[in-house]
Amino acid sequence: MSNTKVTLAGVELKNPVMTASGTFGSGAEYSEFVDLNKLGGVVTKGVANVPWPGNPTPRVTETASGMLNAIGLQNPGIDLFCKRDIPFLKQYDTKIIVNVCGKSTEDYCEVVERLADEPVDLLEINVSCPNVKEGGIAFGQNPQALEAITKEVKKYAKQPIIMKLSPNVTDITEMAKAAEAGGADILSLINTLTGMKIDIYRKTFALANKTGGMSGPAVKPVAVRMVYQVAQAVGLPIIGMGGIATAEDALEFIMAGATAVSVGTANFFNPYATVEIAEGIERFMEQQNVEDINQLIGVVK
Amino acid sequence: MSTKTKETLTVISQAEIGRDIYSLWLQTDQMAQYARPGQFLSLYTGDGSKLLPRPISICEIDREKSRIRLVYRVTGKHTGTEGFSRLQPGETVETLGPLGNGFPLEEAQGKKVFLIGGGIGIPPMLETAKQLNAQKTAVLGYRDELFLNDEFEKYADVYVATEDGSAGTKGNVLNAIKENGLEADVIFACGPTPMLRALKEYAEEKNITCWISMEERMACGIGACLACVCKSREIDAHSQVHNKRICKDGPVFLSTEVEL
């Protein structure tokens, strides 16, 4: 039996497969299809200090081998989240990673502080959502701002923090270094790529928000390249994501330097994707005589 | 265990029953056993460039043979629905379902009921008409060409409206209701938003209960991604904001609980 366990900032995952924030709710809906016990971790949809209504509809549209979304971080707020979503996830033997969003540094810190005493394993700080007017990506496109918010959040966080990086920057390694300098424990990338689709018959935007975040298999080569670049530039563990739909896709990210991976859009076209990928990685390891998944991390130099 | 499943369904038959309107009978394993009128299926295109499942309402359910009928519109060239229209008997389609809540038949049992469909919102009203034990009047609105209207005759009194006046009342379903002096205690309806909005107002004026089936762009189809929300009058218990999930909390809502 080969070893699939990986460690992120001292937190051991039974396998490297996690969910990507925003695509999996807090797991309840997908638990009707997959056994959450078989996942390395569940990354929740972003949660803020208060409920957010999100953007007007339409919020999603399909693009070639991908999609655009502009949900706008609709979430029920941290109170209900702690009462309902965390206890739900606690029933399962999987790591709980809470994605945290906010409009200001204080918002982020408030949620992080609130989660300090909750049975949560890791916090993912969403400083890269392209679909909200305040907060989100505003912190994730400027290295000084990113370093500053990372430092602030670290003051309040009891759990290790993951800074989630935006690909909508000129040089993602600068952002990775800024997060590292600010004290991030882990990096996750990539968030979605800002895109646009126009409905030529209605002569308007396909999304009410005009722009949306692009995800799905179409973005995978960009994501693999960025994971590789960041792995070369910093020493922090990386959670790789962007278009992962198969075990082979996941292994590309791992070989590019990711310690763990997140499966996002694939859940929408295959609700079993997460578990199938975890099982596929094991099969690959057996076929290729890989004893330990850690031997594959960053194997491509 | 959940009644939602992902199954590989086999095409039994397919026919074009109107311009760009197709009727597709599918063999299911368990889906037909669980399906209820007003629910929908999400069909995958099988084309890696078209990832998102296509939500299509259930037109008929044959529990005995475990089959489901979908009647859908091909929305254009190179679309997922165009791909479905080429499916031949014996071919398969990956499908998730049944999804959504469906019409609450028990709320209309034995009452005078309008079953109102507009355009491609007509198909789900057929199974509703079949299963509902009530005094049923179907009011069907079309742009021009009729489809499925003759199939309602077995289960309900049928009135038709066409925008171009080529059949029945010239105008919309409300024009047909007024012209024929029709009345009901309960409305079940599916169709375009302007029609649903008009019915919501009509029901409020007449002080009758109106259940409407809504539509929005979807991604997951199971309530996780929060793409297909509609505005709710009150703060929703699940979302904590004025949003309800059409795919999970709906697609059927009481007209008074949503804003259109």
pLDDT of residue A133: 67
Nearest chain A Cα distance for residue B231, angstroms? 9
Percent of all residues in chain A with a pLDDT value above 90, rounded to a whole number: 94
Q: How would you class A212 by CB atoms within 10 Å of its CB: exposed for 0-12, middle for 13-18, buried for 19 or more?
A: buried
By C-alpha distance, the chain B residue nearest A25 is B224
3-class DSSP assignment, residue B129 = helix
pLDDT of residue A166: 95
| Residue A267 with chain B: CB contacts under 8 Å | 220, 224
Residue of chain A with shortest Cα separation from B242? A53
Its pTM stands at 0.95
Test mutation, A74, A199, A275, chain B, max B CBs within 10 A:
A74
Mean confidence (pLDDT) of chain A: 96
Query: Percentage of chain B with pLDDT > 70?
Result: 99
pLDDT at B1: 45
The residues, ordered by sequence, that sit 6+ positions from A12 with a Cβ below 8 Å of its Cβ are A5, A6
Distance from CA of A158 to the nearest CA of B (A): 27
CA neighbor of B199 nearest in space, from B125, B126, B254: B254
B88 vs A: CB within 8 A: no
- What's the confidence (pLDDT) of residue A135? 67
- Answer yes or no: is pLDDT of A219 > 70: yes
Nearest-angstrom CA–CA distance, B58 and B68? 7
Instruction: Evaluate if residue A171 carries a pLDDT over 90.
Output: yes
Give the one of B4, B224, B227 whose C-beta lies nearest to A60's C-beta: B227
A109 catalytic per annotation: no
Chain B: closest CA distance from residue A80 (Å): 8
> A26 to chain B: nearest residue by CA?
B224
- Condensed to tens digits (0 to 9), the pLDDT of residues A242-252 reads 999 999 999 99
Neighboring chain B residues of A71 at a CB cutoff of 8 Å: 225-227
Low-confidence spans in chain B with pLDDT less than 70: 1-2
The pLDDT of A5-28, averaged and rounded, is 98
Q: Do A271 and B248 lie within an 8 Å CB cutoff?
A: no
Q: Exposed, middle or buried by CB within 10 Å (0-12, 13-18, 19+), for B186? A: buried
Contact call for A271 and B2, based on CB within 8 A: no
| pLDDT at residue A180 greater than cutoff 60 | yes
Signed CA dihedral, A21, A23, A26, A31: sign only: negative
Q: Which two tokens stand for residue A249?
A: 């896709």
Mean pLDDT of A74-91: 97
Q: Which residues contact A246 (CB under 8 A, 6 or more apart)?
A: A276, A277, A280
Q: Which of B224, B227, B240 sits opposite A30 (nearest CB)?
A: B224
Residue A138's pLDDT is 76
State the ipTM, two decimals. 0.94
Q: Which of A54, A71, A268 sits opposite B51 (nearest CB)?
A: A268
Contacts of A29 in chain B (CB under 8 A): 220, 222-224, 248
Q: Dump pLDDT digits (tens) for A21-73.
A: 999 999 999 999 999 999 999 999 999 999 999 999 999 999 999 999 999 99
Task: Return the residue in A26, A29, A82, A132 with the most chain B beta carbons within 10 A, the one to mutate for interface testing.
Answer: A29
Which residue on chain B is closest to A207 by alpha carbon?
B217
Digit-coded pLDDT (tens) for A105-133: 999 999 999 999 999 999 999 998 777 76
**pLDDT at position A139, please?**
86
Tell me: pLDDT of A87 over 80. Answer: yes
pLDDT score at A128: 81
Q: Give B47-70 pLDDT, tens digit per residue.
A: 999 999 999 999 999 999 999 999
Please give the C-alpha separations between residue A144 and each of A161, A181, B131, in angstroms, as whole numbers.
18, 10, 64
CB pair distance less than 8 Å for B248 and A29: yes
**What pLDDT score does A134 carry?**
67
